[in-house]
Structure 1
Amino acid sequence: MSLNLPLISLDELPPSVRLPADFPDGAAMPKFLYGDRVEWKSLSDTDNIDTGVIIGRFYLFAHHQNQWAWKYLIFLDSDSYSRRFCSADTAWEQDLTPLEERNS
């Protein structure tokens, strides 16, 4: 049985896999730096909010935004809800807030 599927060439990468031509000059400055304390933005009143410290970041195509964006590696605080099953997590810049904002 022949399905007559189109051939896919792996020579040409989809545009979202290529870094922007003007990288790094055209990239937005990262909002968070190594050592910054952050928390995840709450989606509801019943959320268990994780907190931690930025230990890394990388530039990645964010399909949900249809653009390139910063994603961060966060070492979770010992009292964070998720620390029961992992010690670090990643988050998009838009999903984080500086920890100081909540306390001011």
Structure 2
Amino acid sequence: MTRPDPLPQLDAVVQHPSKLAVTAFLSSCTEAEFKAVRDGLDLSDSALSKIVTALEAAGYVEVRKGYVGKRPRTWLTLTSTGRRNLAGHLSALQQIADQARGRGADLG
């Protein structure tokens, strides 16, 4: 009997669904306003702020603050590290799904 392929390594930083959703959202654009991410993912200000803080500490997200008129704004950008690691995580998920389908076909 052959040994199954080892499971690919998932990225621990984006493993949580909310962090994965934020990085996926940011991967689709150059930059997004905090409010757009919050509303687009239906997150509270507090939840998104905690997620962004963790992603920024890991080097996945850059935060830029500024003003539009007199109103403060925050913009978020997925870094090249964040893009690369998100792609690796998604690839690992796909490999896991492919391996599971292959094993299921072998049993069936």
Q: What band does the TM-score fall into relative to the shorter chain? A: under 0.3
Q: TM-score, normalised by structure 1?
A: 0.22
Greater per-residue helix proportion? 2
With CA pairs under 8 Å and 6+ residues apart, which has the higher RCO, 1 or 2?
A: 2
Q: Who wins on radius of gyration, i.e. which is larger? A: 1
